[in-house]
Amino acid sequence: MAAELDIVNLFIIAGGTLAIPLLAFIAFFLLWPSALIKIYYWYWRRTLGLQVHYADCGGYRFCYSCRGKPGMRPSVLMLHSFSAHKDTWLTLVKYLPKHLHIVCVDMPGHEGTTRTNTDDYSIVGQARRIHQFVETIRLTRKPFHVVGTSMGGNVAGVYAATYPTEICSMTLICPDGQCTKFDNHLQDLERSNYTLNIPLIPTTPEEMEDMFRLCSHVRFKIPQQILQGLVDVREPHNSFYEEVFLEIISEKSRYALQEHLHLITAPVQVIWGKRDQVMDVSGATVIAEILPGCRVDLLENCGHSVVMERPCRTAKLILEFIILQQEARGGTKKSS
């Protein structure tokens, strides 16, 4: 009888031990979904071996995550899209070799990087800030590969045109800075004196779901609580996002990439989702016409959120391009 009671007690203790984290998860999911999202990003950074660092320069602080050390392959700098953050790249980093030196930085004013009322958030202004970051962490010791998506692609293109000796090659993923399908909505915003809601700055779970539909061809089933958590995480920053949005769609920045393309000398790869509803896929043709040697990879059944929708395929394409360009420069033979 005593042995049976011990077994019962053991099951009770085991059940209680399992129930505590389960109940904690349910509580976070229902009551604090935004905290659960932050834990999720922390967990995946840790799992993938990414470490968060800060770089200070003249009173300005950059937040970035990195993995690996500079080696025979070029270092890879990743620039995220509007209103995103360095963890945008986690799904992609998962499929890249662990020995590859990767740096994912929070763009100016975003997430952990300094935000000021006096900073220049135009595309050219952001390119200058990223150059400051690159010099601060001494990434310029040898030419590196830069990857940029959407707004980050615009900044990456302007960066490559402005600081050509620092870039050995570049990948642009659905970059803005050209004529887009979104232009019609921008015209509606201008006519309304910017009183209409901006689709890329959602304020409710429903608007968040609409943004996912706009940006992604693949339909992800996201629970309402997670949508609410995503809104809660972004809501304190929405006024800043509006400021940046108005800056990057201004005459000064809207076509910045297109205006700088002819100055780019580094080999360029363009990756674009054929079902992109934000930046028209014809932009890839525009870039190829100005830069005849560029490589264009168009992805079937993929929208604007290429990194989220096709992370494995995108990582493979980027790595192939880096290796091909290195071999073309007389570098080492591929070993990954």
From the list 87, 216, 304, 305, the catalytic residue is 304
From the list 87, 276, 280, 297, the catalytic residue is 276
Tell me whether residue 169 is one of the annotated catalytic residues: no
Whether residue 66 contacts residue 100, with contact meaning beta carbons closer than 8 Å, is answered with no
Tell me whether residue 150 is one of the annotated catalytic residues: yes
Tell me whether residue 335 is one of the annotated catalytic residues: no
From the list 150, 169, 216, 253, the catalytic residue is 150
Known catalytic residues are 150, 276, 304
